[in-house]
């Protein structure tokens, strides 16, 4: 039937990873042994004690009903305990925590609660595409703040034009950053909070990678700063921390009004997270930190392996303690597309072209360290033999 997609839908760029999958499959179809470092989906399985908690809870008929929209009280309490244990931040589970069906749903839908048509949402770029698409779906207008190497891939707040600020409602930040791997300091967060207070902005922080590190401590949360809670909502997820991308469990924490708005949107469009999945999440958050530590070590080791190949090929990249990404600068000023197609065609390596995350990603590519070390060693050797 000749139905037209809505203007809203037509205005979106194609979702990056669907296109990548298509090209990878095409090359694989030609019989190439492809090493896929494209999509940021952890390759290792979910730890067994989390799966056991799910299985137990799934067998209990008490969990076969609709859950509470904003999450079981016990789940929200466990998230509050987690923030206290990991960040020294105290939160009230009842009003300052909301469960999410993965943080993506929260990030996509949060603007519906606070953005009116024509309001501006300040989004970083290059970035996870959902900040901008969520803003657009709510009738908002994304304003893109470039993340540049010379600024450590932090937004230059002073460079945001003064005339857009009266109409701006939300500023998104994402540290540790996808795609660059950049980290933020509490000093940056202090500057961000002052900026947001001056211009009456909501700070929306996506902390999906705060636990993906070999360091003994998570990446700092903006909520660690005094007074932050009044204007901050922070999104988190079990996906990357505990290898649970398919399970769909995350949360939002922060100011009670922001959390209430998020919950009101959710109660109109979804019916919450399967309680058995929430029980599994509680087992994860209450359990030992061993899975976090061992995944951190694993990614650090993989980073070393790929770094050897990059160094030999004379390709530079951002050094970071967080995420499982390597943000690579294309050699000899190649475009992202030219570099990635050379990698795929001459080395059978899938990387994500940096410009797919936004125009300032042009001249870069992202490697996701989601293959075992022996495959990365192979990738590393293939990289080292390339001539640019």
Ligand X SMILES: *Cc1c(COP(=O)(O)O)cnc(C)c1O
Q: Which residues bind ligand X (CB under 6 A)?
A: 40, 102-104, 128, 174, 178, 206, 208, 237, 239-240, 245, 250
Q: How far is the CB of 207 from ligand X (least distance, A)?
A: 9
- In the complex with ligand X, the residue whose CB is nearer, 151 or 245, is 245
Q: Which two tokens stand for residue 12?
A: 């979106």
- Measuring CA to CA, how many Å separate 248 from each of 18, 46, 172, 184, 292? 19, 13, 22, 26, 18
Name the minimum Å distance from CB 251 to ligand X.
9
C-alpha to C-alpha distance for 133 and 322, rounded to whole angstroms: 26
For ligand X, give the closer residue by CB, 70 or 178.
Answer: 178
Please state the closest distance from residue 329 (CB atom) to ligand X, in A. Answer: 21
With contact defined as beta carbons under 8 Å apart, do 252 and 100 qualify? yes
Q: Which residue, 266 or 382, has its beta carbon nearer to ligand X?
A: 266
For ligand X, give the closer residue by CB, 245 or 257. 245
β-strand 250-254 against 202-206: which pairing, if any? Answer: unpaired
Cα–Cα distances in angstroms (integers) from residue 256 to residues 26, 72, 96, in the given order: 48, 17, 5
Nearer to ligand X, 111 or 250 (CB): 250
CB of 25 to ligand X, least distance (A): 22
- Minimum separation from the CB atom of position 13 to ligand X (A): 17
Q: Which helix (H) or strand (E) holds 228?
A: none
Residue 119 Cβ vs ligand X, minimum distance, rounded to whole Å: 22
Pairing of strands 325-329, 250-254: unpaired
* Separation between Cα atoms, residue 374 and residue 302, nearest integer Å: 9
User: Rounded CA gap, 159 and 146, in Å?
Assistant: 10
Sign (positive/negative) of CA torsion 151, 152, 153, 156?
A: negative
Rounded to an integer, what distance in angstroms lies between the CA atom of residue 21 and that of residue 350?
A: 9
- Classify the C-alpha dihedral 143-149-152-153 as positive or negative: positive
Q: Kindly tell me which of 291 and 348 has the beta carbon lying closer to ligand X.
A: 291
């Amino acid at each position: 039937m000749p139905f037209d997609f809505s203007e809203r839908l037509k205005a979106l760029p194609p979702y990056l990873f669907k296109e990548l999958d298509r090209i990878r499959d095409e090359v694989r179809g030609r019989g190439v042994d492809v090493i896929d470092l494209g999509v940021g989906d952890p390759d290792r399985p979910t730890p067994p004690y989390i799966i056991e908690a799910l299985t137990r809870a799934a067998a209990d008929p008490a969990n076969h009903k609709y859950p509470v929209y904003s999450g079981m009280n016990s789940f929200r309490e466990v998230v509050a305990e987690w923030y206290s244990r990991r960040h020294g931040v105290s939160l009230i589970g009842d009003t300052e925590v909301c469960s999410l069906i993965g943080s993506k749903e929260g990030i996509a839908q949060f603007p519906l609660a606070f953005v009116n048509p024509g309001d501006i949402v300040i989004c970083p770029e290059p970035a996870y595409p959902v900040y901008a698409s969520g803003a657009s779906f709510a009738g908002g207008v994304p304003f893109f703040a470039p993340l540049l190497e010379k600024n450590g891939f932090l937004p230059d707040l002073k460079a945001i034009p003064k005339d857009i600020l009266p109409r701006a409602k939300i500023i998104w930040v994402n540290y540790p950053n996808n795609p660059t791997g950049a980290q933020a300091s509490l000093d940056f967060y202090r500057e961000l909070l002052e900026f947001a207070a001056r211009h009456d902005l909501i700070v929306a922080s996506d902390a999906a990678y705060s636990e993906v590190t070999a360091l003994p401590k998570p990446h700092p949360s903006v909520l660690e700063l005094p007074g932050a809670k009044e204007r901050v909502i922070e999104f988190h997820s079990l996906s990357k921390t505990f290898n649970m991308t398919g399970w769909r469990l995350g949360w939002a924490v922060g100011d009670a009004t922001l959390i209430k708005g998020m919950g009101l949107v959710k109660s109109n469009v979804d019916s919450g997270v399967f309680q058995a999945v929430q029980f599994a999440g509680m087992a994860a958050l209450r359990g030992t930190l061993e899975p976090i530590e061992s995944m951190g070590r694993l990614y650090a080791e993989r980073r070393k392996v790929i770094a050897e190949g990059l160094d030999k090929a004379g390709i530079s990249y951002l050094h970071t303690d967080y995420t499982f990404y390597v943000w690579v600068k294309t050699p000899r000023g190649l475009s992202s597309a030219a570099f990635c197609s050379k990698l795929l065609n001459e080395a059978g390596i899938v990387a994500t072209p940096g410009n797919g995350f936004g125009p300032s990603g042009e001249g870069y590519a992202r490697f996701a360290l989601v293959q075992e070390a022996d495959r990365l060693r192979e990738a590393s050797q293939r990289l080292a033999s390339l001539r640019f």
